[in-house]
Amino acid sequence: MNDNEDLHQKPPSLFQMVTNFGKELSKYIKEGAPNVTPDQYTRRLSTCKECPHLIEKSMRCGLCGCLLEHKAKWSTTDCPDKPGRWRKILKKNDKK
């Protein structure tokens, strides 16, 4: 993505970004703050870097507004794009 494309993608409102982040953070903490492996994190970020919704200058998702350096680390999160570019990583005993 070049700088001109970056200007066209705008994040959600500040209120919506705070709401989205709060929901993701709550799930993350509730599940015991599980992180993905370094390899999974690298793959997630690589996928994000190819996404048309990426706001590259701030490495923020243009759909949910989350900072990808955090969201991509948390195994409780998934990509908000439909269909998602990456999914949350469930623990072996999860049934969801």
pLDDT at residue number 93: 52
Of 11, 75, 80, 82, the C-alpha closest to 39 is 75
Report the alpha-carbon distance of residue 21 to residue 57 in Å, rounded. Answer: 19
What are the domain boundaries of the chain? 3-71
Summarised one tens digit per residue, pLDDT across range 26-80 is: 999 999 999 999 999 999 999 999 999 999 999 999 999 999 999 999 999 999 9
The predicted model scores a pTM of 0.78
For residue 61, the tally of other CB atoms under 10 A from its CB is 25
